[in-house]
Structure 1
Amino acid sequence: MQKGTVIKSTGSWYNVQLDEPSPAGASLLRSRVAGRFRLDDKKLTNPIAVGDRVAVAIESTGDEETGAIREIEDRRNYVVRQSPRKRHALHLLASNIDQAVVIVTVIVPDLKLGFIDRFLLMTEPFNIPTTIVFNKADIYGEDELETFEVIQQIYSDIGYDVLLVSAETGQGLEEFRELLRDKRSLISGQSGVGKSTLVNAVEPELELRTGELSDYSGKGQHTTTFAELFPLSFGGEIIDTPGIKTLSFNYLKPQDVAHNFREIFALSQECRFGGSCLHRHEPGCAVIESVEEEDDRVTDLRYNSYLTILEEVEGQNYWERRKV
């Protein structure tokens, strides 16, 4: 048995970077899953995530040396999402990360505010620091810059770092590089936002594959098929993930949503019903009062996003949630 780190997921096979070379001198071992692994009794489409520390048994078949993953070390944290293909299953995106970085842009493709909130709801329950990076600043006009400034204020006020960068002109790239330095970062975003181009701009040797927007839909084309971990020459690692189209939450309960919108949870202490308040129509709700009074402690944009996700989570009946 040898130990290593999973650096790439390719469906049923995983690339494991070994701590020490194999008997045949390999440092990277193509490995399969041997045994059944679960995550808190939840149904997973992939039992192992990029970033996992594993123990593998080395197997030789002819001239090929492969591995069988027998054990997974306890995870420091992980990022999970509802499977886009199997409604009742979960998909592990990454594990043992120091931070998450979500790449967005105001235009080309047009910004979907709800996506930012959904991404944050994916990382917040696991206390994973998350930075919002707006790319393509070079094509922002006056209206787009105004939109960025409004959004930056909203998220900065509740404790999230927000960067404005351009992979084309170099604006903000040094700040982006420093954000990544000496940390393991999950890099994600919707297709077409320039995620791979931005990473290539600070680490050209990676040569991540990039794609163009569809002329027909104006949406991005997927250029990353599987999650993969890459070392950075200036220190740290990134886990590059496929472009995300949608994020849903079959693994959350309504109260989880309320507790993981930062500003809403902070204000809930002032609600008549405290932590059990869902902040929709309850009497004596401090969150509703804040929205109605427009005191900016809870903004309309974030509150409406909260209500949309809450309704969606509640729409999954008891038996559907049990199937997770």
Structure 2
Amino acid sequence: MKEGLVIKSTGSWYTVKTDDGEVHDCRIKGRFRMDGIRTTNPISVGDMVEFNQDKDSNVIVKIHDRKNYIIRKSTNLSKSSQIIAANIDHAFLIVTVNYPLTTSTFIDRFLAAAEAYNIPVNLVFNKVDRYREKDLVQLQELKNIYQNIGYKCFEVSAKTGLNMDVLKEEMKGKINLLSGHSGVGKSTLINLIQPGLDLKTGEISESHSSGRHTTTFSEMFELDFSGYIIDTPGIRGFGTFDMKKEEMFHFFPEIFRTSKHCQFHNCTHMHEPKCAVKKAVENGEIAESRYDSYWGMMSEDEELKYR
């Protein structure tokens, strides 16, 4: 029996790296399911596993308990999710104000999902070298919103190398997840952070202002300056999996902090009178965009959220 870290997953085969640096291709035997998680992939990048080694194939027989994981909607219409990665120390959401547009709704759903699974997140605003005046205004507005909540924000440029040294320092010695829409420059940034990987990058579709998918599965790469970086497929949307509606406000830190002043302990912050959260939105203390995202997630139909 050997033990190792899953550094690559293609859905049917898993690449596992052991402590001594050996790399093994492994498979799973039969139907390997995780209790309580409706997922299309029982094992993900970042998992610690045990496997039996023989001359024909290596078979994973055990998954160690995860400290966290993050999921996205499955690409099909089933009520299933796909685990993107597990045991993450830090997540970096790559955001572009333009080329292509990352909406605040998408940002808020990602942040809520990360909060639900206890994953610290930094926001990385890429392609700032291309921004026009109106883009720079929007960038500052977004940074103000998220920095006031408590999220670190970085302005970077994969083209000029702006603040790449700062990102490296943040990632040092950690297992880091990079995520975001297709086209925001994840692969280009990773190639700069860890030279020599030569990850495939894609062009932006001018007609749709969106990126083409260049990564189809998550993969983990070792960093020269210590730590790991996980490249993920471009993500179009997040469902509210495993999030109970009565707990949804817990995953919006500023709403959670304000909620203690509400008249009712079970306030949903939607319809109740003397709601401190609604008052804070009216007063500009909580951003309307954040409250709109919360409202949207609370109003989401149980069936439609998987579609």
TM-score class, shorter: over 0.9
Correspondence for 1:305: 293
Residue 81 (structure 2) aligns with:
90
Using a 3 Å threshold, how does the CA distance of structure 1 residues 73 and 265 change in structure 2: closer, same or farther? same
Q: Residues 235 and 20 from structure 1, CA distance in 2 versus in 1: closer, same or farther, beyond 3 angstroms?
A: closer
Partner SS for 1:54: strand
Q: 1:192 aligns with which of 158, 183, 195?
A: 183
Q: Which residue of 2 aligns with 1:176?
A: 167
**Structure 1 position 42, deviation (Å):** 2.4
**Residue deviations 1:20-72, cap 9 Å, x none?**
47xxxxx21111112544334222100001011111011323xxxx3100011
> Distance in 1 between the 2:75 and 2:258 partners?
33
| Structure 1 residue 112 corresponds to structure 2 residue 103 | yes
> Which residue does 2:220 correspond to in 1?
229
Task: Give TM-score, length-normalised by structure 2.
Answer: 0.95
Contact 2:2 2:51 in 1 (8 A): yes
Looking at structure 2, the residues matched to 142 and 101 of structure 1 have their Cα atoms a distance apart, in angstroms, of 25
Aligned match of 1:137: 128
- TM-score norm. by structure 1 comes to 0.90
Q: Check whether the contact 2:182–2:234 (CA below 8 A) recurs between aligned residues.
A: yes
| 2:52 counterpart of 1:57 | yes
Deviations 1:167-198 (A, max 9, x none): 11111111111111111101110000011111
1:153 aligns with 2:144: yes
- Paired residues in the alignment total 306
Given residue 76 of structure 1, which amino acid in structure 2 is its aligned partner? K
SS at the partner of 1:206?
coil
Structure-1 separation of matches of 2:38 and 2:281:
38
Question: Paired residue for 2:275?
Answer: 285
Bigger mean CA deviation after superposition, 74-83 or 154-163: 74-83
Note the alpha carbon deviations across 1:127-180, whole angstroms, 9 max, x for none.
Answer: 211000000010012111111111111101111000000011111111111111
**Cα distance change of structure 1 residues 35 and 16 upon mapping to structure 2, 3 Å threshold:** same
- Equivalent pair of 1:229/1:237 in contact (CA under 8 Å): yes
- Distance in 2 separating the partners of 1:269 and 1:37: 42
Paired residue secondary structure (2:33)? coil
Cα distance in 2 for partners of 1:20, 1:157 equals 44
Give the Cα–Cα distance (whole angstroms) in 2 for the partners of residues 299 and 20 of structure 1.
Answer: 49
The match for 1:34 is 29
Q: Which residue is 1:316 aligned to?
A: 302
- The root-mean-square deviation of aligned C-alpha atoms, in Å, is 1.7
Deviation at 1:229, TM superposition (A): 0.5
Match of residue 216, structure 1, among 207, 210, 225:
207
Cα distance in 2 between the residues matched to 1:93 and 1:219: 21
Structure 1 residue 75: deviation in Å? 1.1
Q: Is the 8 A contact 2:91 2:122 kept in 1?
A: yes
Corresponding position of 1:243: 234
